[in-house]
Amino acid sequence: MLAGVLLVSGCATQQVTRVNTTPLEQASELRPDEALLDVGIVVFDTGIPADDPTVDVPGAFPRLREAEARFFPYHLKDTLQDTGYWGAVRVVPAPSNSSELLVYGQINQSDGDMLDLHIRAQDATGREWLNRRYRERIAAAAYRGSADPYQDVFNQIANDLVTALRGLDQAELARVRQVAKLRFAAELTPEAFGDYVVQNRRGLYEIRRLPAEDDPMMRRAVQIRQREHMFIDTLDSYYGNFYHEVSEDYDRWRQFARDEAEAVRELRSSARWRTGLGIAAIVGAVVMDSNSSSRGYGQRVLRDVAVYGGIEAIRSGAQKRREAAFHEAAMQEVTEAFQGAVRPILIDMQGETVRLTGSAEAQYAEWQRLMREIYAAETGFIDDIEIYSEALPESERLPSLEPILLEELNGASSRQDDGPAAADADPSLAGSG
């Protein structure tokens, strides 16, 4: 039995994963305006309970998720624009009736090693275009090229949306655009346009009647919708600045996180193997001792070697688990570097300046309230509205992750140099006899 225990050995297997296997479907020619829809991509759901962000969600780093919830929509926007199948594509902080197609996303897992997203898309009529989960393990080779390591997933999403778009004829696309305009007007002034669009039993929006072509109230609603697009473009530029500012550091973090995630898996597997081998060796030694009728020197040596080797294997397993905990803590600390600040937005209206501050969601909600007030007041200065963002102070810009990454990597190296001598016995075995 002892020989069997001492001859136990492990083996490792490598899984080969192909990368960049999903080409992006692109339009072969310029599409006419009537074949295009404007798209709003809502900032993604982090997948972490808002009422308790301390909840441990596998594959989630709360501070990093806040950044990814903004980063992913903008990357999807770039991908959709590259297809040539869409009109204006904007990232929005909240669902907006000004969009003809809204895309929602939830991040289930994102740790550099695995990307798991749930994507849903719905047009202005309430028709669901897409409602599915995209899950893919990221190969190490994906980090060697110039493309985004997650690009395959975003290409799949974009291709699925194009497939849904092709399923609609010109009349249906025109209806989507018309419903979007009427729903925006109804949201702006329910008293005037609330009964122009109704929801049927299936939850789809249908046009009950249309306003006259020269309806002054609809003309004002259309003007405000244009300003709504200008405002969202300003917010979209914020998301764009954020995206480009963190891209390099985020790419570095993802690669580091993937390597760490792989190391954690290997370390945990190694820890279980080493601990199991150690216990088996001790048990084997005890059985050998109890079955032996001789107390000779050679027999005692073999028994002591087996017990000592088993204890050392357990101690080694405990050290491996401590190393895994260190790697997990290092990844969590790196995510603390992701910080963001939304620039205040200034709105000039006939010499009067309104300054909107707070989160993008708060600014957008305040903007919508302001537009309803302008419409209700019928002041007639909608064409004079100018929207622009305030400069962000240098002190509030995102810090670089490079110093933190170097510090963590150097720390990991120094810990490894300490060797097994610094390891203590596995606390989980304390008190066992």
Whether 41 and 328 have beta carbons less than 8 Å apart is answered as no
Burial of 75 (0-12, 13-18, 19+ CB in 10 A): buried
Q: What is the pLDDT of residue 404?
A: 45
pLDDT reading at 181 higher than 50: yes
Band of residue 350 on the pLDDT scale cut at 50, 70, 90: low
pLDDT reading at 139 higher than 80: yes
pLDDT reading at 412 higher than 90: no
Over the range 10-22, which residues count as b (16 or more CB within 10 Å of their CB) and which as e? eeeeeeeeebeeb
- Taking residues 278-305, report their average pLDDT: 50
- Other Cβ atoms less than 10 A from the Cβ of 41: the count is 26
- Work out whether the CA dihedral 283, 286, 289, 292 comes out positive or negative: negative
Q: What does the pLDDT look like over 7-62, one tens digit per residue?
A: 333 443 334 455 667 899 999 999 999 999 999 999 999 998 876 656 666 656 67
Band of residue 318 on the pLDDT scale cut at 50, 70, 90: low
Domains and CATH numbers, the chain: 33-236 (3.40.50)
Least confident among 37-41, 330-334, 373-377: 330-334
306: its two tokens: 């087996």
- Other Cβ atoms less than 10 A from the Cβ of 57: the count is 16
Average pLDDT of the residues of the chain: 74
- Taking residues 401-417, report their average pLDDT: 47
Q: What does the pLDDT look like over 70-101, one tens digit per residue?
A: 899 999 999 999 999 999 999 999 998 889 99
Over the range 386-407, which residues count as b (16 or more CB within 10 Å of their CB) and which as e? ebebeeeeeeeebeebeebbee
Residue 425 is given by DSSP the state P
Q: Which residue has the higher pLDDT, 366 or 424?
A: 366
Q: What is the pLDDT of residue 354?
A: 82
Q: 């990232």: which residue's tokens?
A: 91
pTM of the model: 0.70
Least confident among 134-138, 279-283, 379-383: 379-383
Contacts of 110 (CB under 8 A, 6+ apart): 59, 60, 64, 65, 68, 116, 117
Band of residue 274 on the pLDDT scale cut at 50, 70, 90: low
Over the range 254-268, which residues count as b (16 or more CB within 10 Å of their CB) and which as e? bbbbbebbeebeebe
